[in-house]
Amino acid sequence: MCKKLNPNMFKMMPRLLQSLFLLSWGLAAITAAHAGLVSPAGYEQNRSALLNAEEELMTGGHLFLNTQEAKANDIFMKYKREELSQGFQNAEQNTASLHFFKAKELIDRSSVFKFLQQMPKGAQLHLHNSAAVSSKWVVQHLSYMPGMLRCANAAGVSILSFRRMPKKHGCFTQYVAVANERRSYSDPMLYDQYFERLINLYTPMPELEYLQVWNKFQDMFDTIGDVLNYRPAFRAFHWQLLEEMYNDNIMYLELRMGLKKELYDEYGHTYPMDQAIRELIAIEERFKRLHPDFLGMKIISTTYRGASLESMQRNIQFYRELHEAFPNFVVGFDLVGQEDLGKSLYSFLPALQELPHTARLFLHAGETNQFGTSTDLNILDALLLNTTRIGHGYALAKHPVLLNAVKARDIAVELSPISNQVLSLVWDMRNHPGAQYLAMNIPLVVGSDDPGFWNAKGISYDFYYTIMSLAPNNAGLRVLKTLVWNSVRYSLLQEAEKSRAYDLLEKQWSSFINRVVAGDTEI
């Protein structure tokens, strides 16, 4: 007979021992039932024990809600069950299974989503700066800045710039002034819609239009890249980035960005390559003065994974210099670009092993549907290189030894479900391997990757799919709270910073819970 689990005894066990205990406990119940040793009453007891074992093993399963949290959870679960029930009855409104481009209008009206928008979400740990700001803001502000020019490169991709002599930056055609193009349209709003499509993947028919979505996706970085090196645009854009994250109840972020670029101004002057870091520090300090409950940001330097070994070594040397100059601001290193077409981590070992011992790796690894290739084996090399977190880790579910290593070593996987869907790894989000990771209590944090490129803001949309599609139907506040606290736990905040973050998060969370229970939230 399978005994009832003692919660107090269970909480005292280390995390890995908890998992092994629950697994053996559940297997004992199944073995007893298979041997025909149970009565009808015993069968029900074993059945309940197995269900409890799975729930205890799941992300958030070990967390106990206080009285107020339990009341807020009841309210949240009412919203969730209503939306799931509606989706079950009408496939066209089943947001949990729909592509984000088809579901977004429904999600925007969702009570679950409005709850999540107002929920404190801790830290944003997987975000690329060039695609972090909403495309509508870019159109309404940056495209109206005086002096913006547009051309096309040899592949027909639009390139935007504010340079006086932009011909050196990838142009094949003559530059034209964006302001003149807009005036040539009968309706400026039509031009703005056209312009937004240059930096937004949205389409009402993603299943037809984006058979090669990565090509369009990477083209958009080329389109917007030189605009963001223009000093006035750089400042405005990154201020807006902080605004959008803060307005989505994010208190801290770790921002991935390429740093080996010169800023330039309206007079044609260029600045040393460390100027971008100095600008970001000034923006961060000014933002924190206006928002004392925002804890700031740190930078993870990125470089293209298609580079040569020699180029990678030069980029790492440049990162080393910035890390030494700004040790608590430029904190990590990563490789970016489509993994399937890029070079493997293994091929860059001579360069990656030259990183300073104080540097941290935050490696994209396993962002692929491939199995048994150099791409999914990037996860293996990421672990051998002692990565601090794993970006995406989509293929991790296919490698049980590596999966167990991730759990045993307490390495967080940065989950970005909408990115994986938009970039064609998964269609129905309920089939995302993140569901397995949640079920097995793999260390997880939620990130939004490139929200500006697919008509999103902040991180709430990714939280929506995590709780509605990846988590079981009966999962609520325990999963959400664990993911929020994980975002601080697995951040690179220093101990004093982390202590302050937990204190602030606890206050924000308690205030939010009390407002939900009192009915003071806008849902």
The yes-or-no verdict on residue 48 having pLDDT over 90 is no
Confidence tier at 407 by pLDDT (50, 70, 90): very high
Q: How many CA atoms lie within 13 A of 53 on its CB side?
A: 22
User: Which residue in the list 128, 392, 399, 432 is annotated as catalytic?
Assistant: 392
The yes-or-no verdict on residue 18 having pLDDT over 60 is no
Say which residues have a Cβ less than 8 Å from residue 517's Cβ, sequence separation at least 6.
68, 71, 72, 75
How does the average pLDDT of the chain come out, rounded? 92
- 21-25, 33-37, 165-169, 394-398, range with greatest mean pLDDT: 394-398
Per DSSP (E only), the strands in 384-431 are 389-392, 412-415
Residue 350 CA from chain centroid, whole number: 29
Q: Are 379 and 399 in contact, with CB atoms under 8 Å apart? A: yes
Give how far Cα 41 sits from Cα of 55, 76, 126, 246, 515, Å: 21, 33, 49, 53, 43
pLDDT at 356: 87
Q: What percent of the chain has pLDDT over 70?
A: 91
Mean local confidence (pLDDT), 415-438: 97
The yes-or-no verdict on residue 472 having pLDDT over 70 is yes
The yes-or-no verdict on residue 8 having pLDDT over 60 is no
Q: Which two tokens stand for residue 67?
A: 């009285």
Element (H or E) spanning 111, and its range?
A: helix 111-118
Mean local confidence (pLDDT), 232-247: 98
Q: List the one residue out of 341, 333, 344, 351 whose CA is nearest residue 379.
A: 344
Look-up: residue for tokens 């079981």? Answer: 472
Give how far Cα 137 sits from Cα of 389, 437, 442, Å: 31, 35, 36
pLDDT at 419: 98
Q: How many CA atoms lie within 13 A of 7 on its CB side?
A: 7
Give the span between the Cα atoms of 373 and 366, in whole angstroms.
10
pLDDT at 1: 41
Q: Based on the residue annotation, tell me whether 99 is a catalytic residue of this protein.
A: no
Mean local confidence (pLDDT), 475-499: 97
Task: Give pLDDT tens digits for 63-114.
Answer: 999 999 999 999 999 999 999 999 999 999 999 999 999 999 999 999 999 9
Query: What DSSP character marks residue 99?
Result: -
User: Which residue in the list 364, 367, 399, 414 is annotated as catalytic?
Assistant: 367
The yes-or-no verdict on residue 326 having pLDDT over 50 is yes
Mean local confidence (pLDDT), 40-46: 81
Give the span between the Cα atoms of 465 and 429, in whole angstroms.
7
Give the span between the Cα atoms of 3 and 46, in whole angstroms.
9
The yes-or-no verdict on residue 24 having pLDDT over 70 is no
Q: Based on the residue annotation, tell me whether 367 is a catalytic residue of this protein.
A: yes
Give the span between the Cα atoms of 25 and 463, in whole angstroms.
32
Confidence tier at 62 by pLDDT (50, 70, 90): confident
pLDDT at 194: 96
Task: Give pLDDT tens digits for 258-309.
Answer: 998 899 999 989 999 999 999 999 999 999 999 999 999 999 999 999 999 9
pLDDT at 171: 78
